[in-house]
Amino acid sequence: MQLPQLKLYNTLSRKKEAFSPIEPPFVGLYVCGPTVYGHAHLGHARPYITFDVLIRYLSELGYKVRYVRNITDVGHLQNDADEGEDKIAKQAKLERLEPMEVVQTYTNSFRADMLAVNNIPPSIEPVATGHIVEQIALTQQILDKGYAYVSNGSVYFDYQKYAEDGKFGLLSGRVFDDALAGHRELDGQSEKRNPQDFALWKKALPEHIMRWPSPWGDGFPGWHLECSAMSVKYLGKTFDIHGGGLDLLFPHHECEIAQHTAAEGNMPANTWMHVNMLTMNGQKMGKSLGNAISLKQFFSGDHPLLAEAYTPMTIRYFILQAQYRSTLDFSNEALQAARKGYRRLMNGLRALHGLTYAAESEVAFNQKAEDEVLKLVADSYEALSDDLNTAIVIANLFGMLKKINQYQLKPAETAQLSAETFELLTTQYRKIIVDILGLIEEDKADTGELISTILDFYKEAKEAKDYAKIDAIRAKLKAQGIAVKDMKTGITWAWEE
C-alpha cells in the first residue's frame, strides 16, 4: 500500500511542510525529556505519547528512527529564567535523600509509566550528569566564539551580542526583555552583564552537592546546555526533528538554538514540533501550578479530583483523541468517555478473531460498500500524514468498526467487498490501532474471580453427577495450567506444579 507523504507542522516556519530527512532512511529525533524530581503527570504524558506515535508512523513509512530523549538530572533551576535552587537538590533536601537517589527513584518511576502507556523506549536516553565533559567543551566553544563571558566562576551566554544579529526568538517570536522584566532584582543578577543573559555554567556555592570541576572552578551546567551538547553528540550538528511540550518553546528551545548557533553557526534541527498543553477546567496543568495529577494517581484513582481509577490505555486513548497541536481539557467525564471509546475499539479487535471472508455467499458484490471501506482506510493514512491528526484517524477507525460489527453479525455480507478489500479492512484496522496508535488490549477481568465462577459450574455438575461435564471442566482448566482441588473441605484450585 502506497502511504501518503508525511507533512509536519514546523514551529520554525509556522507552516506544515513535507517531511524529508537529511539522510534517508535515517531520521534523527530529539525530544526534551523530564527533569526527574517527581512522578510524571498527565501533562508529561501528552508529548511523549505524541512522539511515540510519530516514531511508530515513521517506521511504518519505512524510516529508521534514532530517538534520543534525555533525562535532566542536574541544572534545572526552579525558575526557568535561570534563578533559584536546583529542583533535584531541593527535592533531595525535602526527602532527606542524596540527589542521585532522587534522580534514580523518579527515573525508574518515569520509565515504568512510559512502559505502562505503551511508549517505545528511546534508542538513546542520555543523562545530563553523564555528559559534563561535553557540556564544558560546548561552553568553551561558545566562549571562543565570543558569545559568552566568565563572571565570578560562572559562564553566561551574551544575549545582547547574540540578539544584535536578530536571531533570538525564531521559534516563539519572543525575546527575553518582557520575560525577565519581573526578575531584575533577584540575587545573583549582578554578576551578569545584562539580566537577560543566561547561565551556561554556574559556580557552585560551598553547600551545593552536585558539582564538578571545570576551567572556571567547581560548578554545574545550566539546564539549556545539556540538550545542545547531547543532541550534537548523538544526532550530529544538524538533525531532522526536535520536539517537546509547548512549555519548552520559550525560553528553553530558544536558548538551545542560541547556544547551538553561536557554537556551530547553524540551526540544530530542521523541524521543530511542539505539543500543546493539557488543561483542567481551562487552566494549565503542571507540577509547579499545584494542580498536577500524577499518572500513578490516575492508575490508582487515589486523588481527590479523580472519580475513579483510569487505566494506562484509557489515558493513551484520551490523549490521542485530539490532534497534538490543539488544546485538550481533562475532566472525569472526558476520561470516562475515552474509556468507552477505547473499549469499543478493542471489542472490534476481538470481533476480528472469528471473522472470515464468505467466498461462497448469496450476497452480491456492492461497489458502494467497497468504496466506503477503501476510503476509510485511505482517509486514516491521509490523517496520519497530515501532521498526525489522530482525532481524524480515530473517527475513521469507528467507521471501520461499524463495518466489522456489521460483518460479525452477518458474515455473508462480507461478500459485499472484494476479498482483497475485506483483507485490507481487517489487517489495517488492527495495524492502525495496535502498531501505529499503540493501543493494546489490557486485562480488565480478575483471573481469580473468573476461575471461581467456573468452579461454581463444576460444583453444579458434581451435584448433578454429570461426570462428562466434570471431566470437560477439569481438562479445560488443566490446559490453562490450573488444577481443580476437590477436597473434603470444599472445592478450590491451584496452579499446576
Q: CB of residue 179 vs Zn ion: minimum separation in angstroms?
A: 17
Which x/- pattern, by CB under 5 A, does the window 121-160 give for Zn ion? ----------------------------------------
Residues 332-391 that bind Zn ion (CB under 5 A): none
Coil/strand/helix, residue 62:
coil
The piece of 83-91, 220-228, 235-243, 371-379 that touches Zn ion (CB under 5 A) is 220-228
Q: CB of residue 252 vs Zn ion: minimum separation in angstroms?
A: 6
Q: CB of residue 229 vs Zn ion: minimum separation in angstroms?
A: 11
Q: CB of residue 256 vs Zn ion: minimum separation in angstroms?
A: 6
Contact (CB, 8 A) for 228 and 268: yes
Q: CB of residue 330 vs Zn ion: minimum separation in angstroms?
A: 25
Q: CB of residue 224 vs Zn ion: minimum separation in angstroms?
A: 7
The amino acid sitting at 404 is I
269 binds Zn ion (CB under 5 A): no
Q: CB of residue 242 vs Zn ion: minimum separation in angstroms?
A: 8
Cis status, amide bond into 25, omega within 30 of 0: yes
Residues 390-429 that bind Zn ion (CB under 5 A): none
Q: Between 255 and 338, name the residue whose CB sits nearer to Zn ion.
A: 255
Q: CB of residue 135 vs Zn ion: minimum separation in angstroms?
A: 13
36 binds Zn ion (CB under 5 A): no
The piece of 24-32, 377-385, 401-409, 463-471 that touches Zn ion (CB under 5 A) is 24-32
227 binds Zn ion (CB under 5 A): yes
Task: Compute the chain's Rg from CA coordinates.
Answer: 28
32 binds Zn ion (CB under 5 A): yes
The piece of 109-117, 153-161, 226-234, 340-348 that touches Zn ion (CB under 5 A) is 226-234
Q: CB of residue 51 vs Zn ion: minimum separation in angstroms?
A: 13
The piece of 17-25, 227-235, 273-281, 290-298 that touches Zn ion (CB under 5 A) is 227-235
Q: Between 32 and 241, name the residue whose CB sits nearer to Zn ion.
A: 32
Query: For 73, left (φ over 0), alpha (ψ -120 to 50), or beta?
Result: alpha
Cell 525564531 maps to which residue? 170
Contact (CB, 8 A) for 142 and 201: no
The piece of 31-39, 111-119, 203-211, 337-345 that touches Zn ion (CB under 5 A) is 31-39
Q: Between 32 and 235, name the residue whose CB sits nearer to Zn ion.
A: 32
Q: Between 227 and 436, name the residue whose CB sits nearer to Zn ion.
A: 227
Give the total of residues touching Zn ion (CB under 5 A).
2
C-alpha cell at 445: 477481568
Pairing of strands 278-280, 239-245: unpaired
Q: Which of 117, 122, 125 has the alpha carbon at shortest distance from 45?
A: 117
Positive/negative CA dihedral, 57, 234, 224, 192: negative
The piece of 104-112, 219-227, 395-403, 443-451 that touches Zn ion (CB under 5 A) is 219-227
Q: Between 200 and 345, name the residue whose CB sits nearer to Zn ion.
A: 200
Cell 448433578 maps to which residue? 464
Instruction: Give, in degrees to the nearest 5, the angle at Cα 43 between 326 and 231.
Output: 90
Q: Between 137 and 392, name the residue whose CB sits nearer to Zn ion.
A: 137
Q: Between 242 and 316, name the residue whose CB sits nearer to Zn ion.
A: 242
Pairing of strands 7-10, 15-18: antiparallel
Q: Between 273 and 397, name the residue whose CB sits nearer to Zn ion.
A: 273
Contact (CB, 8 A) for 61 and 72: no
Q: Between 266 and 489, name the residue whose CB sits nearer to Zn ion.
A: 266
DSSP state, 15?
A: E
- 90 CB contacts (<8 Å, ≥6 apart)? 37, 78
Q: CA 148, CA 146: separation in Å to the nearest integer?
A: 6
> Nearest 5°: phi and psi at 131?
-135, 40
Q: CB of residue 227 vs Zn ion: minimum separation in angstroms?
A: 3
> Nearest 5°: phi and psi at 472?
-65, -45
Q: CA 352, CA 345: separation in Å to the nearest integer?
A: 11
Q: Between 49 and 227, name the residue whose CB sits nearer to Zn ion.
A: 227
In the chain, the largest separation of any two C-alpha atoms, in whole Å, equals 93
Q: CA 287, CA 90: separation in Å to the nearest integer?
A: 14
Q: CB of residue 284 vs Zn ion: minimum separation in angstroms?
A: 19
The piece of 170-178, 223-231, 369-377, 427-435 that touches Zn ion (CB under 5 A) is 223-231
What residues pair up with 221 in beta bridges, in sequence order? 201
74 binds Zn ion (CB under 5 A): no
Q: Which H or E run contains 257?
A: helix 254-264
Q: CB of residue 70 vs Zn ion: minimum separation in angstroms?
A: 7
C-alpha cell at 497: 506444579
Q: Between 32 and 275, name the residue whose CB sits nearer to Zn ion.
A: 32
Query: Which residues are at the interface with Zn ion (CB under 5 A)?
Result: 32, 227
